[in-house]
C-alpha cells in the first residue's frame, strides 16, 4: 500500500458538481487523499445558492479548519480555479501547492457579462437544460462531442443535477467576481497550470499567460481535450497531476 503523500482539494467547474472529479479518485492509489467539496446548492443540495466567491472562500476556510487540514494542495477547474484564487487571496499560507486547470485570473469582460445575462434569461425561460444545451458545445472539444457520446452524456447528467436557483446563483457570482490577476505574482507555492489543447473558453494562450505570471509555475497541455480536460482525457490529466504531485510528496 502506498504511504499517505498528502491531501489534494479540488473545486469543481460550472455548471457541474463535485462528481466531475470521480476520475481523479484514481490518484488515491498513489497515496493522495482526494477531497472534492460540493459548492452550495449544486447537485441537488439544499444549501442557499452561491452568492459570491468571497463568501465561498470564507466558507472554504471554515471547512478546511473543520477538517484540520495541514497545508493541502488546493486547485480547481474553470469556476473551481476562481474559487482557488479567491481562497489564496484570503489565506495564502494554507497552500502547499496549487492547481489551476482550464481557468483564468481576470474578471468577466463586458462581453462575458453580457453572455452571463443571456444565460440567466435562458435559465428563466428554458430551465437548467437550456443553459446546459448552450454550454456543451463550448465545454467539450469537437472530437469529444463527435466520437465520445458517453462523455457528452455524463457532462449533461452532472450539469442537469442542480436546481435552477443554484445555477442562477453561480452565474451571478461568476459575473461579479474580482480580478485575481494582481495575485499571480504573489503565488510562491508550487503551481501546476493545466489546459485542454482545444479549450475555447480558456484557451492555451490564457494558460500560458498564467504560467508566465506565476513564479515557477508549470504548464501541462492535455491533448485532444477541450475545457473539461479532466473528463475528456482523464488518464492524461491524471498523469500530469501525478507528475506534479510526486514532486511535492517526495
The answer to whether residue 5 scores a pLDDT higher than 70 is yes
Buried residues in 137-154 as b, exposed as e (16+ CB within 10 A): eebbbeebbeebeebbeb
Helices (H), 108-233: 110-139, 142-147, 149-159, 164-175, 204-213, 229-232
**Residue 169 CA: distances (Å) to CA of 106, 126, 231, 248:** 20, 16, 24, 35
In tens, the pLDDT along 75-113 reads: 999 999 999 999 999 999 999 999 999 999 999 999 999
Cβ neighbours for 111, distance < 8 A, ≥ 6 positions apart: none
Question: What are the pLDDT digits (tens) for 10-43?
Answer: 999 999 999 999 999 999 999 999 999 998 889 8
Are 10 and 76 in contact, with CB atoms under 8 Å apart? yes
- Around Cβ 118, how many Cβ atoms within 10 Å? 11
**Model's pTM, two decimal places?**
0.95
Where are the domains positioned within the chain? 6-249
Q: Which helix (H) or strand (E) holds 82?
A: helix 79-90
Weakest-pLDDT range from 59-63, 96-100, 235-239: 59-63
Q: What is the CA radius of gyration of the chain?
A: 17
* pLDDT 10s digits, 137-185: 999 999 999 999 999 999 999 999 999 999 999 999 999 999 999 999 9
Q: What is the pLDDT of residue 44?
A: 82
Residue 7 has pLDDT above 90, yes or no: yes
What's the confidence (pLDDT) of residue 70? Answer: 82
pLDDT of 249 reads: 65
CATH architecture of the domain covering 6-249: 3-Layer(aba) Sandwich (3.40)
Could you report the per-residue pLDDT of 201-215, keeping only the tens digit for each? 999 999 999 999 999
**pLDDT, position 156:** 97
The pLDDT of residue 1 is: 37
Amino acid at each position: 500500500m502506498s504511504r499517505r503523500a498528502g491531501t489534494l482539494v479540488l473545486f469543481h467547474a460550472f455548471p457541474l458538481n463535485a462528481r466531475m472529479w470521480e476520475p481523479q479518485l484514481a490518484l488515491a492509489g498513489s497515496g493522495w487523499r482526494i477531497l472534492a467539496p460540493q459548492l452550495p446548492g449544486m447537485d441537488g443540495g439544499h444549501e442557499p445558492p452561491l452568492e459570491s466567491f468571497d463568501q465561498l472562500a470564507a466558507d472554504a476556510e471554515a471547512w478546511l479548519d473543520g477538517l484540520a487540514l495541514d497545508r493541502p494542495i488546493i486547485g480547481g477547474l474553470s469556476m473551481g480555479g476562481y474559487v482557488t484564487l479567491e481562497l489564496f487571496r484570503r489565506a495564502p499560507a494554507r497552500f502547499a501547492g496549487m492547481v489551476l486547470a482550464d481557468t483564468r485570473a481576470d474578471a468577466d469582460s463586458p462581453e462575458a457579462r453580457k453572455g452571463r445575462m443571456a444565460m440567466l434569461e435562458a435559465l428563466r425561460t428554458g430551465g437548467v437544460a437550456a443553459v446546459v444545451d448552450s454550454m456543451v458545445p463550448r465545454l467539450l472539444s469537437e472530437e469529444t462531442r463527435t466520437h465520445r457520446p458517453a462523455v457528452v452524456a455524463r457532462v449533461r447528467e452532472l450539469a442537469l443535477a442542480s436546481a435552477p436557483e443554484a445555477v442562477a446563483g453561480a452565474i451571478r457570482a461568476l459575473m461579479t467576481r474580482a480580478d485575481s490577476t494582481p495575485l499571480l505574482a504573489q503565488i510562491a507555492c508550487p503551481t501546476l497550470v493545466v489546459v485542454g489543447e482545444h479549450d475555447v473558453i480558456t484557451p492555451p494562450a490564457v494558460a500560458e499567460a498564467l504560467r508566465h505570471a506565476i513564479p515557477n509555475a508549470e504548464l501541462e497541455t492535455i491533448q485532444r481535450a477541450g475545457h473539461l480536460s479532466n473528463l475528456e482525457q482523464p488518464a492524461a490529466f491524471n498523469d500530469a497531476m501525478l507528475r506534479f504531485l510526486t514532486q511535492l510528496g517526495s
